[in-house]
């Protein structure tokens, strides 16, 4: 079982300031940011073939399962072109997650000094970058299956849905990869706000990497926005 979600949560971040942990600065964010986004796309690419356990009854588990079936129908729609399926899958991902909320969280302490215009521009750049990456990769992981194994309620309306990713071609005998969803229930609506693969949480990973980049560049949000846009263009050109 994965270690518990770190104490600092997105909603806590929105209520109070936090002290960012120190880390070694690395030249640029491409390799690690790509890894963090890859967590997102591996998670959702695995929705293409999924088993639904009949015993699951927790509302958050049912929510994940129902949306998994939506992803399944999109990716297995043989009458749609690749571009159509990618566009539909993009809308599916954006409808399932609160991408703007995640983007704001990844700014960490720099959100306090960013103007509303910078926050909005960053959210758009973050979303475009994430979409460019998962659209390039999602089909490579469609042969794996995702199985819900349980859930843990952290607080009322805040649930970690635990799953495992099963690779039919893996003959190593190693335990399956753990993939968790953090789901909030707000005003009667569920939304996914973070993802974890083997204990690595997307939003927390991205916050660390963006903070390192901004620390190298005098906290310039416009420079980070430009960098994300450039990475998104490069990904689209490569694929």
Q: How far is CA 146 from CA 46, 69, 77, 117, in A?
A: 6, 11, 19, 38
| Nearest residue to 181 (alpha-carbon basis) of 167, 166, 202 | 202
Three-state secondary structure along the chain?
CCCCCCCCCHHHHHHCCCCCCCCCCCCCCHHHHHHHHHHHHHHHHHHHEEECCCCCCCHHHHHHHHHHHHHHHHHCCCCCCHHHHHHHHHHHHHHHECHHHHHHHHCHHHHCCCCHHHHHHHHHHHHHHHHHHHHHHHHHHCCCEEEEEEEEEEECCEEEEEEEEECCCCCCCCCCEEEEEEEEEECCEEEEEEEEECCEEHHHHHHHHHHHHHHHCCCCHHHHHHHHHHHHHHHHHHC
Confidence class for position 14, pLDDT limits 50, 70, 90: very low
pLDDT recorded at residue 38: 53
Provide the residue ranges of all domains of the chain, joining segments of one domain with +.
Answer: 29-238
pLDDT surpasses 60 at 192 = yes
> Is the pLDDT confidence value at 171 over 70?
yes
Q: Is the pLDDT of residue 8 over 90?
A: no
Contact of 184 with 102, CB cutoff 8 Å:
no
- Residue with the bigger pLDDT between 206 and 71: it is 206
* Digit-coded pLDDT (tens) for 95-109: 888 889 989 999 999
Lowest mean pLDDT among 36-50, 123-137, 177-191: 36-50
Q: How confident is the model at residue 208 (pLDDT cuts 50, 70, 90)?
A: very high
Residue with tokens 């997105």: 10
Per-residue confidence (pLDDT) for residue 165, from 0 to 100:
77
Q: Does the structural domain 29-238 have CATH classification 3.10.450.710?
A: yes
Q: What is the pLDDT of residues 75-96, one digit of tens each?
A: 667 898 878 877 887 888 888 8
More confident position, 159 or 97 = 159
Q: How far apart are CA 63 and CA 85, in angstroms?
A: 22
User: Which has more confidence, 219 or 165?
Assistant: 219
Over range 198-205, report the average pLDDT.
84
% of residues, the chain, pLDDT over 70: 69
* d(C-alpha 48, C-alpha 195), whole Å: 17
Q: What is the mean pLDDT of the chain?
A: 76
């Amino acid at each position: 079982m994965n270690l518990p979600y770190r104490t600092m949560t997105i909603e806590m971040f929105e209520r109070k300031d936090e002290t960012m942990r120190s880390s070694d600065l690395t030249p640029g964010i491409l390799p690690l940011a790509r890894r963090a986004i890859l967590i997102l796309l591996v998670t959702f690419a695995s929705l293409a073939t999924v088993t639904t356990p009949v015993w699951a009854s927790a509302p958050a588990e049912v929510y994940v399962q129902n949306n998994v079936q939506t992803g399944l129908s999109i990716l297995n729609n043989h009458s749609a072109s690749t571009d159509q399926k990618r566009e539909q899958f993009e809308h599916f991902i954006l409808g399932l997650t609160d991408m703007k909320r995640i983007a704001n969280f990844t700014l960490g302490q720099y959100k306090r000094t960013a103007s509303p215009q910078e926050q909005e521009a960053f959210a758009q750049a973050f979303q475009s970058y994430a979409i460019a990456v998962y659209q390039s990769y999602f089909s490579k992981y469609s042969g794996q299956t995702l199985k819900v194994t349980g859930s843990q309620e952290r607080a009322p309306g805040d649930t970690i849905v635990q799953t495992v990713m099963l690779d039919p071609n893996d003959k190593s005998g190693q335990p399956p990869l753990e993939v968790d969803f953090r789901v909030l229930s707000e005003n009667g609506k569920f939304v996914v706000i973070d993802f974890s693969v083997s204990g690595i949480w997307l939003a927390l990973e991205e916050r660390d990497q963006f903070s390192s980049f901004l620390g190298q560049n005098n906290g310039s949000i416009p420079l980070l926005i430009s960098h994300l846009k450039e990475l998104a263009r490069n990904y689209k050109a490569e694929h």
